[in-house]
């Protein structure tokens, strides 16, 4: 007897519906076809033990399972539940033989328990688009899948529960989420607030500009000057995620199994990989491609502490994602793409010893050693960082102050107002939401300079020998500063401030 069950395969951040055909015939054997990987081929052992432990059995017959389309590679153990239900139906151990409106996915334990899977959200989205009415997933995945309206999502704890559901016994109730409560933003930054940062007003200003325009920023300063402390507080001043951003972010985290039991991701990601990270862990890839840190930071922050300590080849692979805001991983037979529109926040010491050269002799490094240390970061990568900020140690008088600094909430409100201006300005343009995403065409429209501003920028370009990319960065940062001032036009003082945030381009910045 032939029975068809429907599942789904995830590629990139999207899914493709899969038809699992189970045919029982005379003979003996268990045959899987349709480009399954090793985890799927091992399913016969898990399925046999699970069925036996819940009172059913794997038939001693010739079982042929075809996963169509046959030329599409399938991977993972998420097909256990669908294959098991197909076998039970094909051998008439259960009466249900019409699964045409259902997608069934889940990994089986030997006792019949259904284990969580990866990619539940894209699977549910694709199931709805393909016209399915019901989707059965592990209990741990029901919240992330139930985000999708228009399809009934059922959380399954044990294969016996699913059998009883189709046999007409105890029905599994569909999961219902309150969409309004689901997207209520619950930002809690009580332990990471800018009010705890003493002094460093110029650094806070730079962080505010970076957050308002989504700009990349590099902090350069000696140990103990507050670089990491400030960087870790930047999520507290970022604007709330939109529903579209939240869904896209959740899809990426769902693929790697990080969205289980939480439903929609409502806070902007903050990823901080160690400097020993490989290029694959940062960008993504592998035999079975998975998103890397820069995709997991999509719509959020990627913090790289001690930037020169990262391997040069690891940093260089970030060039294209920083520019294109997308990672494309190519293999001989397929290509997958992951979005990577993140805000890069990096920090570094100015020299191998960690200190600037100053009159107190704190540095044990010569100017040549400091230049060599800085050269670990290539010019093209530095060009893609909008703001280079020099961070100096906080003087005792500031550290001893009792009064609190400006809170994250007040800074965040200004950032939100600036982002609102940008959203309204770029509303007609698809994929453009804030100033850091501006392309050359839109820059000509929205970064128009008067003669005085143009003359000031020309002097800076000639004196500092800035690249064309640095020119673009200065214009984008100037546009953000103008937005924070609620100014429609970019004024000379906006250009001047933006130029000040190119520390590594200024001659003699090493004291």
pLDDT at position 371 is: 76
Cα 328 to Cα 284: distance, rounded to the nearest angstrom: 9
With beta carbons less than 8 A apart as the criterion, state whether 42 and 110 touch: no
First to last CA, the chain: 81
Instruction: Tell me which of 3.30.465.10, 3.20.20.100, 3.30.230.10, 3.90.550.10 is the CATH number of domain 2-177.
Output: 3.30.230.10
Strand 14-25 versus strand 2-11 pairing type: antiparallel
Q: Which of 153-157, 471-475, 496-500 has the highest mean pLDDT?
A: 153-157
Cα 223 to Cα 203: distance, rounded to the nearest angstrom: 15
Which pLDDT band holds residue 354 (cuts at 50, 70, 90)? Answer: confident
Among 222, 387, 203, which residue's Cα sits nearest to residue 306? 222
Cα 197 to Cα 188: distance, rounded to the nearest angstrom: 17
- The whole-number average pLDDT for the span 86-103 is 89
Complete edge-to-edge strand list for the sheet that includes strand 134-138: 102-104, 134-138, 152-156
pLDDT at position 510 is: 42
Mean pLDDT lowest among 284-293, 319-328, 355-364: 355-364
> Higher-confidence residue: 254 or 382?
254
Q: Which letter does DSSP use for residue 127 in this model?
A: H
Is residue 189 within a helix (H) or strand (E), and if so which, with residue range? Answer: none
Q: What is the pLDDT of residues 152-201, one digit of tens each?
A: 999 999 999 999 999 887 889 999 877 666 666 555 555 688 988 888 88
Q: What is the pLDDT of residues 100-131, one digit of tens each?
A: 999 999 999 999 999 999 999 999 999 999 99
What is the percent of the chain with per-residue pLDDT over 90, rounded to a whole number?
61
pLDDT at position 386 is: 92
pLDDT of 60 > 60? The answer is: yes
With beta carbons less than 8 A apart as the criterion, state whether 411 and 347 touch: no
pLDDT at position 505 is: 65
Strand 387-390 versus strand 217-220 pairing type: parallel
pLDDT at position 156 is: 96
pLDDT at position 179 is: 62
Which pLDDT band holds residue 22 (cuts at 50, 70, 90)? Answer: very high
User: For residue 366, what are the contacts with CB-CB under 8 A and spacing of at least 6?
Assistant: none
User: For residue 305, what are the contacts with CB-CB under 8 A and spacing of at least 6?
Assistant: 227, 228, 231, 272, 275, 346, 347
Say if residue 79 is exposed, middle or buried (CB neighbours under 10 Å; 0-12, 13-18, 19+): buried
Which pair of structure tokens corresponds to residue 312?
């040069």
User: For residue 39, what are the contacts with CB-CB under 8 A and spacing of at least 6?
Assistant: 75, 76, 77
pLDDT at position 509 is: 46
Which pLDDT band holds residue 343 (cuts at 50, 70, 90)? Answer: very high
CATH topology of domain 194-426: Rossmann fold (3.40.50)
Q: Can you give 307-323 as a three-state secondary structure string?
A: HHHCCHHHHHCCHHHHH
pLDDT at position 507 is: 46
pLDDT at position 177 is: 79
pLDDT at position 192 is: 83
Which pLDDT band holds residue 359 (cuts at 50, 70, 90)? Answer: very low
> Higher-confidence residue: 452 or 394?
452
Cα 380 to Cα 484: distance, rounded to the nearest angstrom: 28
Is the bond preceding 177 in cis, omega lying within 30 degrees of 0? no
Cα 399 to Cα 140: distance, rounded to the nearest angstrom: 47
Residues across the chain: 511
- The whole-number average pLDDT for the span 231-255 is 91
Q: Can you give 83-117 as a three-state secondary structure string?
A: HHHHHHHHCCCCCCCCCCCEEECCEECCCCEEECC
Say if residue 297 is exposed, middle or buried (CB neighbours under 10 Å; 0-12, 13-18, 19+): buried
Matching residue, tokens 């549910």:
124
The gap from C-alpha 498 to its chain's centroid, in whole angstroms, comes to 28
Domain extents in the chain: 2-177, 194-426
With beta carbons less than 8 A apart as the criterion, state whether 344 and 217 touch: yes
DSSP codes joined into one string, 341-398 = --EEEEEE-SSTTSS---TT----S-HHHHHHHHTTS-HHHHHT-SEEEE-PPPPHHH
Can you name the residues that pair with 348 across neighbouring β-strands?
A: 220
Which pair of structure tokens corresponds to residue 390?
């020099």
pLDDT at position 454 is: 92
Q: How high does pLDDT run on average in the chain?
A: 88
What are phi and psi for residue 451, nearest 5 degrees? -60, -40
Mean pLDDT lowest among 358-362, 387-391, 482-486: 358-362
- Asked whether the whole model's pTM tops 0.85, one would answer yes
Mean pLDDT lowest among 87-96, 176-185, 424-433: 176-185
Per CATH, 2-177 and 194-426 having the same topology is answered no
């Amino acid at each position: 007897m032939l029975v068809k069950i429907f599942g789904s395969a995830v590629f990139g951040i999207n899914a493709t519906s899969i038809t699992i055909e189970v045919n029982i015939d005379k003979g003996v054997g268990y045959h899987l076809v349709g480009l399954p990987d090793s985890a799927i081929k091992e399913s016969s052992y898990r399925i046999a033990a699970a069925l036996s432990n819940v009172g059913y059995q794997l038939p001693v017959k010739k079982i042929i399972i075809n996963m169509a389309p046959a030329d599409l590679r399938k991977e993972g153990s998420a097909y256990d539940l669908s294959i098991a239900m197909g076998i039970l139906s094909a051998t008439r151990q259960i009466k249900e033989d019409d699964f045409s409106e259902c997608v069934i996915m889940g990994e089986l334990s030997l006792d019949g328990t259904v284990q969580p899977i990866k990619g539940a959200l894209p699977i549910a989205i694709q199931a709805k688009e393909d016209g399915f009415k019901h989707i059965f997933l592990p209990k741990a995945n029901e919240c992330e899948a139930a985000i999708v309206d228009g399809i009934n999502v059922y959380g399954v704890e044990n294969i016996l529960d699913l059998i009883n559901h189709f046999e007409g016994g105890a029905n599994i109730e569909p999961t219902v989420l309150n969409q309004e409560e689901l997207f209520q933003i619950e930002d809690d930054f009580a332990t990471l607030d800018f009010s705890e940062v003493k002094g460093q007003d110029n650094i806070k200003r730079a962080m505010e500009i970076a957050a308002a325009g989504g700009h990349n920023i590099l902090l350069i300063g000696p140990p103990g000057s507050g670089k990491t402390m400030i960087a870790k507080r930047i999520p507290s001043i970022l604007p709330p995620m939109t529903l579209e951003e939240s869904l896209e972010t959740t899809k990426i985290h769902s693929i790697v199994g990080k969205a289980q039991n939480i439903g929609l991701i409502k806070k902007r990601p903050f990823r901080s990989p160690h400097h020993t990270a490989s290029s694959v862990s940062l960008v993504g890839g592998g035999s079975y491609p998975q998103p890397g840190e820069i995709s997991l930071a999509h719509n959020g922050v990627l913090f790289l502490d001690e930037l020169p300590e990262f391997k040069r080849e690891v940093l260089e692979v970030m060039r294209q994602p920083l520019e294109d805001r997308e990672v494309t991983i190519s293999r001989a037979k397929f290509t997958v793409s992951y979005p990577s529109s993140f805000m890069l926040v990096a920090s570094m010491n100015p020299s191998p010893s960690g200190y600037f050269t100053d009159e107190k002799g704190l540095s044990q490094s010569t100017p040549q050693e400091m230049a060599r240390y800085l050269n670990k970061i290539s010019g093209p990568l530095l060009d893609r960082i909008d703001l280079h900020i020099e961070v100096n140690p906080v003087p005792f008088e500031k550290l001893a102050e009792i009064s609190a600094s400006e809170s994250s909430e007040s800074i965040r409100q200004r950032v939100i107002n600036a982002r609102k201006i940008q959203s309204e300005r770029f509303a007609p343009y698809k994929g453009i939401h804030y100033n850091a995403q501006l392309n050359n065409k839109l820059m000509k429209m929205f970064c128009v300079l008067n003669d005085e501003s143009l003359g000031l920028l020309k002097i800076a370009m000639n004196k500092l020998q800035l690249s064309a990319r640095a020119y673009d960065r200065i214009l984008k940062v100037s546009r953000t500063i103008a937005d924070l001032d609620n100014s429609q036009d970019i004024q000379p003082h906006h250009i001047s401030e933006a130029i000040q945030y190119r520390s590594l381009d200024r001659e003699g910045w090493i004291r």
